[in-house]
Homo-oligomer: A and B are copies of this chain.
Amino acid sequence: MSNIQASATALEQAIRESDEFKDLKGAYDAVMTDEIAKKMFDDFRNTQMELQQKQMQGIEITQEEVDQARKVVETVQQHEQISKLMEQEQRVNELINNISRTITKPLEELYGSEA
């Protein structure tokens, strides 16, 4: 196994054992085992994905869709378990972004060296 693969696997294990990931898993499981919360969360994710896909395909998003999406967000934010899950997702995203910045430093330094 290369140094890189060994280091990547060690990092994967560190992520798995981190408070951030464990808390995310706890929050995710809490939502997924609550039928109503799960349905609300699934609706929220589906709405988000539909809008994202439209944006990527350059399809115009109507005011009605924007309003509808805002309503769904407001509803899930008021749900304690879902809002906790979204908070934990945010924390893990930040963690992954920090890792990403660290491991792409060699490339940034290389490409940033051009005057």
Residues of B near A3 (CB, < 8 A) are: 14, 17-18
Chain A: interface residue total (CB-CB under 8 A): 37
Could you say how many copies of this chain the assembly holds? 2
A15: interface (CB < 8 Å):
yes
Interface string of A60-88 (1 = CB under 8 A from B): 00000000000000000000000000000
CB <8 Å contact, A106 and B4: no
Interface string of A2-27 (1 = CB under 8 A from B): 11111111111111111001001100
CB <8 Å contact, B4 and A11: yes
Question: Which chain A residues have a beta carbon within 8 Å of chain B's beta carbons?
Answer: 2-18, 21, 24-25, 28, 32, 58, 92, 95-96, 98-99, 102-107, 110-111, 114
